[in-house]
Structure 1
Amino acid sequence: MSELSGISTGPVPTGPTGGGTGRALATGLGRAVGTALLMLAILTVVWVVSVALVDNTFVAKGPAEVYEFLFADDDAAQTRAQIVTALGVTLGDAAIGFAAGMLAATVAAALIVLSKPVETAVMPVALILRAVPLIALTPIIRLLFSDELVRVAVVSGIVVLFPALVNIVQGLRSVSAQMSDVVHVYGGGPLALLVKVAFPSALPALFASVRISVPGAITGALLAEWLITGQGIGSMVVNAVGQSENNLVWACVLVVTLASLALYLVAQIVESFVLARYGRR
């Protein structure tokens, strides 16, 4: 029997160390708060400047007008309820696409690292999916898949797939030659190297992919709702544009942006905690 199973060849969680994980969580929360404040400040400045440059009060709505629409108008409560309901649908669609895209990217990355022919076959397909506009691919996706849930998973997953795939492959290939030699000396093959060393070493790249993919999944979900399902924030925005309900358009964009930011920050906090547990920070 191989002795590899009894040897630590990569970062292994050492269990809660109290102060270590606590500090990691505090650091993650501090970074998240700082990132949130900075991004909110930048978004607010860009929003105000854009509205001023457009100089069209019918189309361009500033923060004060959107706040009044969501909280001060007579039907503000009903509007908020409709937006929250639509947001729930969109987040559900995004979760489906995120899971599908990340799973496909992780499996494909593992196969690429294990087999050069797989890389030759998979990477061109991933590049094509990335290069061709999803609007052009959507009719084909509708023809290929009859189930609406699968269509959403494919459309949203395509947005997630390529950046996650590239990051994870790079992370899996970051194993040092010394660690690879240790695995081989104890009788481990490519699969053992992948599972025991490459995947733990790729955790930073994996979490970077998660942070990138969360907003991407929401973008894919919005596109799927516009072109396929006719539900959620994506459909609400399109309908509002067609009816010139510009306050509703801006409110939906604001809510989706804040939701994307919040999920990004959650991923950042989880990343700090998990990487600290694995001795990566």
Structure 2
Amino acid sequence: ARKAIEKGSIKEVGASGSLDIETVLELAPELIVGYTMDQTPGFVAVLSKAQIPTILFQDWQEQNPLGRTEWIKVMGVLLDKETEANTYFNQVVDNYERVKKIAQRAKTRPTVVSGAVYQDVWYVPGGKSWMATLFSDAQADYLFKDSDQTGSLALSVETVIEKANQAAFWIAPAQHTSWREMKSDQPAYTAIKAFTQKKVVTYALNKGPTGGVLYFEQAALRPDWVLSDLVYFLHPGIMTGYTPHFFNYTTP
């Protein structure tokens, strides 16, 4: 896709909330593939009048990591590449299950906290979320696993610190990349054991050639890589010869 963008064969038509309708009409696509977070975007009705069909993906609502990846089968049908899509999905499933079995050899289940503070609210993954499932499959004891939310939990800083002050690892502290930056941004972070012991693992350091965070670009299609990364950090030595794809320890 990146090469096609550079060649100009993929055109910029705006974001889902502010689609450049004129450009879309000029391109005259056979199909528009988009997504919606809540209500149907207004552009759907406009494109319908122009007889341009629209499909809205809901893959982000899947709580099972492999469930998100399985949406590639829809693209396989649309692009007449069902065999390739099924082969890709099966390979990801096989690798995910392989790594999950490796994680089950671990002798401990280290405690994990996640998320970060934004405008005085600490957002953590819900106990039924995509990320919580990955923590479980990586043999981690996610400290907010008992909540029923499939999205994020909005909690006070005090609530998180009270429950997670002894967490052994801090995974995915939002877009933070630096330990010093985190301390400056929110001094309360120093109350977390994982922070003081510098066991904070972030996805925000690995970026593509244009500065995009690779985790956001690829993780939904490579949950096996996400799981592998988590197992690598949570259970040192168990993933022999492995190099993480998305995660790294925060820099000083």
More strand by share: 2
Determine which structure has more spread, i.e. the larger CA radius of gyration: 1
TM over 0.5: no
More helix by share: 1
Compute the TM-score of the two structures, normalised by the length of structure 2: 0.25
Higher relative contact order (CA 8 A, sep 6+): 1
